Amino acid sequence: MTSSFRASAEALSERIKVSFEFFPPKNGDMETQLWESISRLAPFEPDFVSVTYGAGGSTKQPTMNTITRISNETALAPAAHLTCVGSDKATVDAVAREFQAVGVNHFVALRGDPPEGVGAAYQPHPDGYANGAELVAGLRAISDFEISVSAYPERHPESTDFATDIDMLKRKVDAGATRAITQFFFDNDVYERYVERVRRAGIYIPIVPGILPIHNFGQVARFSKLCGTSVPDWLARRFDGLEKDVETRSLVAAAIAAEQVNDLVERGIDDFHFYTMNRAQLVYAICHMLGLRGDGATAPRIQLDAQRTL
């Protein structure tokens, strides 16, 4: 290996930023898995770790508990997902203040899906925030939070065209959003074309690619259909016949995600958000391949306690 190659690999790892998304656990086993994943990935010193908010606020308390524990027991910066579906403004504001009280300065602000599920017609609460943009404005009125929002490289399923979709992103930015995180995608050309459209619309905040390592292709294919992400034929072919072969599937998944991320790096992207699904292994492998090394110096203080439940 030449010294110039080594130098460029080091320079690359210095400019790469990552963030990790987790969901709140439903039971003790899931909590153990979550905290093992957090403690494995923490040494990569993510920019932030976010915790999702279940449909219609269904996980408010578990999300709060997870955020509180991250805040109290680690050196990681927590970001709380917050949705406004089914609630009036005062209730959403009160939840935001509760998060603030346990150390949250960063929200991932989302409208959320209708209670009937993705695809059903969205009805805002009569006294609620009608969409992501209104929620961002509401949070901005409470405090000078860091606010991330969603972005959809293949359009949100409800939007009629890209202009409508990007207009909503623009409204969220005008209301105070500082970063957009994309829905997961598998075709980097789609992402690049989307970012070009966004820039042409005068939006200059970071559009951070959301990367989903594929733990279970069947599940991902079903979910992709619901949220409008296209699944290229080549991707299906790579998993074909591996339904019962977990080990090979995981090697294939790591290779696919590494290819995707490396290609994005070559296109100039250096900030990545990983949908971890509360599993560390694939994300760890990808971060390692990106040149990141957790030296442990800033590793969080985490005591894994299998007995503890939310």
Interacting residues toward ligand FAD by CB under 6 A: 52-53, 55, 81, 83, 108, 110-113, 131-132, 150, 156, 158-159, 164-165, 168, 181, 183, 210
Distance CA 187, CA 189 (A): 5
Distance CA 284, CA 38 (A): 11
Q: How far is the CB of 275 from ligand FAD (least distance, A)?
A: 8
- When the beta carbons of 50 and 74 are compared against ligand FAD, the nearer one is 50
- When the beta carbons of 143 and 164 are compared against ligand FAD, the nearer one is 164
Distance CA 186, CA 229 (A): 8
- When the beta carbons of 108 and 264 are compared against ligand FAD, the nearer one is 108
Q: Which of 23, 110, 109 is nearest to 66 (CA)?
A: 23
Q: How far is the CB of 85 from ligand FAD (least distance, A)?
A: 7
Q: How far is the CB of 307 from ligand FAD (least distance, A)?
A: 27
Q: Hey, what are 60's tokens? A: 């408010």
- When the beta carbons of 158 and 249 are compared against ligand FAD, the nearer one is 158
Q: How far is the CB of 159 from ligand FAD (least distance, A)?
A: 3
Distance CA 100, CA 146 (A): 12
Pairing of strands 179-182, 271-275: unpaired
Tell me which residue has its CB nearest to ligand FAD: 159
| Active-site annotation holds for 21 | yes
**Residue among 21, 45, 134, 154 flagged as catalytic:** 21
- When the beta carbons of 156 and 249 are compared against ligand FAD, the nearer one is 156
Q: Quick one: which H or E segment has residue 107?
A: strand 106-110
Please give the C-alpha separations between residue 297 and each of 33, 42, 287, 294, 301, in angstroms, as whole numbers: 23, 11, 17, 8, 11
Q: How far is the CB of 112 from ligand FAD (least distance, A)?
A: 4
Ramachandran region, residue 303 (left: φ > 0; alpha: ψ -120 to 50; beta: rest):
beta
**Catalytically active residues, by annotation:** 21
